[in-house]
Amino acid sequence: MKYEIEEKGRFKMVHIIGNIDVATNKELDDAISALVEQGNHHFVFNLKRTTYLDSSGISIFIHCLCDVQQNNGSVYIIAEDNQVRRVLEMVGINRLIKTFSSEKEFLDAQNAAVS
């Protein structure tokens, strides 16, 4: 797994590339925790290039959500209609974290909320 972090307005957009599993998630979890400690409290995880997700990957999103909620932050997920999206829906993460089908859909929703 690789990841890239990009500024999108007030959000840190985390693009996750490859597999998110028990063997790879600690580095990303530590990077997100460091960002939260630096005062970043709004995240969107873009899973467009994610090929596999297991339960340890889901724990990254939940851990981030718990950390940012203490500071009135927010977490969103972008996941296309594919196997990764089906895993998110199967475990019910989409009931905890708003999930969008594309980056455009996410950005449109953010722009509408500001207007």
What is the count of structural domains for the chain?
1
Give the pLDDT mean for 77-86: 93
Report the residue count for the chain: 115
pLDDT at 25: 85
pLDDT digits (tens, 9 = 90+) for 30-56: 999 999 999 999 999 999 999 999 888
Residue 99 sits in a domain of what CATH number? Answer: 3.30.750.24
Give the pLDDT mean for 68-95: 93
Q: Calculate the average pLDDT of the chain.
A: 93
Give the pLDDT mean for 77-82: 93
4 burial level (CB within 10 Å; 0-12, 13-18, 19+): exposed
Residue span of the structural domain in which 105 resides: 2-114
pLDDT at 115: 61
Confidence category of residue 60, pLDDT binned at 50, 70, 90: very high
d(CA 94, CA 3): 21
pLDDT at 37: 94
28 burial level (CB within 10 Å; 0-12, 13-18, 19+): buried
d(CA 55, CA 41): 23
Percent of the chain with pLDDT over 90: 78
